[in-house]
């Protein structure tokens, strides 16, 4: 399976190597903080991190080393950040949680404050059923099993993620599979250029690529701290994000083929890479990275402040 996927995908982002392990020992946030000077250690999780969207263009696809906790300003590029203190351990949970009710279908989601942003602590499970030219829907439960939707949320095409049909907002209108990005004479954007609600509930939106980078950095420069404690071999979930191994889907003409639930996950962003729709580049996966319009990934929304 991995050899087949490596043919159809390209590895833009390698967070960790091997099957559920890393080539280096896991550096826990407490250990990382101990390495910093006392002036760098925040007193609470309410620590500001600034991410300049203009300096974090979609062309930035450099891997972020899980062993490089102390990064120079030249390495950070997109975000200036300070690591925040973990709020969850094996014995206590002091994270700032809340709830979100999606008025479209009355589903309730858990939310969590990480730094100064409010994130969904569950994957979106809204049934975005807008058909495509070849398919009768643009989002699915893994293996078309509703039980998987209840646990992992739905898997969405990029066109559904940005709400290409403009069911809820205009910011992602027209962006989808085969979108004409234009040419040098008449350039057109390949993706939205403003905050995009997409398929998210009202008052929430898709996180930008630079925001995923910021989240990654302030929580310890390793995906282990955002992985759920359940479903992975190396999940720590130190911040209540509870990232589950939701798998993904690949679209082959009129067929939807599901892969690797319990092994990997990634999340959509409205950012594009070289004309192709792009997942977050923050990948809760072990060995390779997927990109393109013909994949379906889960969605995590961030509150639109």
Residue 2 lies in a domain: yes
Answer for the pair 23, 74: CB distance below 8 angstroms, yes or no. no
End-to-end, the C-alpha distance of the chain in Å comes to: 41
Last residue of a domain, one of 172, 199, 226: 199
Residue 269 lies in a domain: no
- Do 98 and 5 have their domain in common? yes
pLDDT at 283: 57
pLDDT at 175: 84
> What's the CA dihedral at 126, 130, 133, 138 to 10 degrees?
0
pLDDT at 252: 85
> What's the CA dihedral at 110, 113, 114, 115 to 10 degrees?
170
CA pair distance 304, 205, nearest whole angstrom:
6
pLDDT at 179: 64
Residue 34 lies in a domain: yes
- Do 86 and 228 have their domain in common? yes
- Do 50 and 109 have their domain in common? yes
CA pair distance 290, 212, nearest whole angstrom:
16
Task: Give me the tens of pLDDT residue by residue for the chain, a chain 305 residues long.
Answer: 433 333 333 232 223 333 333 333 333 444 443 333 333 333 333 333 344 444 333 322 222 233 333 333 333 334 445 889 999 999 999 999 999 999 999 999 999 999 999 999 999 999 999 988 788 899 999 999 999 999 999 999 999 999 999 999 999 998 876 666 665 566 677 788 899 999 999 999 999 988 988 998 999 888 899 999 988 888 999 999 999 999 999 988 789 999 989 988 889 988 876 656 666 645 555 444 555 678 899 999 999 98
pLDDT at 9: 36
pLDDT at 186: 61
pTM score: 0.74
What DSSP state is assigned to residue 295? E
Nearest CA to 197 out of 262, 110, 104 is that of: 104
Backbone φ and ψ for 109, nearest 5 degrees, come out as: -120, 145
pLDDT at 291: 58
pLDDT at 92: 95
Domain that holds residue 114: 1-123+209-237+286-305
Tokens of 157: 């095409």
- Do 115 and 134 have their domain in common? no
Last residue of a domain, one of 199, 225, 259: 199
pLDDT at 257: 95
> What's the CA dihedral at 131, 136, 137, 140 to 10 degrees?
-170
pLDDT at 131: 87
Number of domains in the chain: 2
Question: Is residue 39 exposed (0-12), middle (13-18) or buried (19+ Cβ within 10 Å)?
Answer: exposed
Residue 280 lies in a domain: no
pLDDT at 116: 94
pLDDT at 126: 98
């Amino acid at each position: 399976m991995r050899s087949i996927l490596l043919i159809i995908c390209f590895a833009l982002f390698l967070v960790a190597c091997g099957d559920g392990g890393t080539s280096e020992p896991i550096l826990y946030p407490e250990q990382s903080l101990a390495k910093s000077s006392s002036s760098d250690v925040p007193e609470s999780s309410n620590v500001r991190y600034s991410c300049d969207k203009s300096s974090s263009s979609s062309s930035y696809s450099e891997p972020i080393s899980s062993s490089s906790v102390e990064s120079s300003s030249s390495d950070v590029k997109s975000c200036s950040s300070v690591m925040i203190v973990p709020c969850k351990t094996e014995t206590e949970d002091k994270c700032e949680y809340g709830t979100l009710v999606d008025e479209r279908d009355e589903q309730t989601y858990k939310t969590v404050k990480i730094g100064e942003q409010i994130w969904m602590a569950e994957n979106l499970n809204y049934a975005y059923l807008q058909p495509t030219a070849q398919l009768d829907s643009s989002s699915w439960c893994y293996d078309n099993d509703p039980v998987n939707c209840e646990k992992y949320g739905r898997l969405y095409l990029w066109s559904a993620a940005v709400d290409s049909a403009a069911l809820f907002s205009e910011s992602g209108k027209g962006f989808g599979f085969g979108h004409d990005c234009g040419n040098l004479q008449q350039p057109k954007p390949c993706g939205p250029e403003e905050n995009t609600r997409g398929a998210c509930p009202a008052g929430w939106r898709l996180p930008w690529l630079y925001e995923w980078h910021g989240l990654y950095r302030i929580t310890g420069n390793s995906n282990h701290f955002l992985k759920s404690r359940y479903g992975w071999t190396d999940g720590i979930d130190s911040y209540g994000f509870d990232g589950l191994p939701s798998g993904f889907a690949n679209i082959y003409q009129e067929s939807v083929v599901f892969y690797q639930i319990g092994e990997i996950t990634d999340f959509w962003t409205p950012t594009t890479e070289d004309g192709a729709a792009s997942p977050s580049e923050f990948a809760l996966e072990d060995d390779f990275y997927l990109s393109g319009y013909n994949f379906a990934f889960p969605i995590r929304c961030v509150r639109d402040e």
